[in-house]
Chain A
Amino acid sequence: DIVMTQGALPNPVPSGESASITCQSSKSLLHSNGKTYLNWYLQRPGQSPQLLIYWMSTRASGVSDRFSGSGSGTDFTLKISSVEAEDVGVYYCQQFLEYPRTFGGGTKLELK
């Protein structure tokens, strides 16, 4: 199985500051078709996860442009510019290159 490892944030993050969440995969998620098979989700307190980013860097419909995804084949970053109260929650990365699909352990974002 592909292991997904997420980094921690230096919480709490001051409102208005940027935050970067890292995720590393044990195998490259770059497919021969040029696409990278990585999703980012946000789970706000008491809610179900919401897709933020797919194909490593494509924002899902309705997602603020304050969220951006980048990376290489095995190292990925979700950047949140100007953190707001609605960004509080746990962020998960997930690979969908291979079965079984696997998730990172989550990164909690708290607001100062």
Chain B
Amino acid sequence: EVQLVESGGGLVQPGASLKLSCVASGFTFSDYWMSWVRQTPGKTMEWIGDIKYDGSYTNYAPSLKNRFTISRDNAKSTLYLQMSNVRSEDTATYYCTGRMRWGQGVMVTVSS
């Protein structure tokens, strides 16, 4: 069974950094492009970016490109999202997606 399990969320202060992880199982992780999507408290879906199966290429939403970095470790079947200089508007549930599946999501709250 395909599973994507995110972790690393929580309460973080404005300006801080945070790294989310997503562990994949049930499929050959290194064969698939993977993405991050976030959902705001108002339920708006925002695509963050994606990464090629071998990690050699990434795409980002222009508004997030300078602060967010997507990476992966195929040996660990793990996808990462490094968030820096976080702002209150980054408060959302973050989802890892790939192979037509979504993880259960992890909440990030940015507040002092």
Contacts and interface: CB of A to CB of B under 8 A. Distances in A.
Interface of A: 48-51, 54, 60-61, 90, 92, 94, 99-103, 105-106
Contacts of B16: none
A49 B60 CA distance: 21
Contacts of B45: 49, 92, 94, 103, 106
Interface in B32-68: 35, 43-47, 50, 59-62
Given A48-B105, A49-B95, A105 B44 contact: yes
Interface of B: 35, 43-47, 50, 59-62, 95, 100-105
29 contacts: A48-B95, A48-B102, A48-B103, A51-B100, A51-B101, A51-B102, A54-B100, A60-B100, A61-B100, A90-B43, A92-B45, A94-B45, A94-B47, A99-B59, A100-B47, A100-B60, A100-B61, A100-B62, A101-B47, A101-B50, A102-B47, A103-B44, A103-B45, A103-B46, A103-B47, A105-B44, A106-B43, A106-B44, A106-B45
Contacts, number: 37
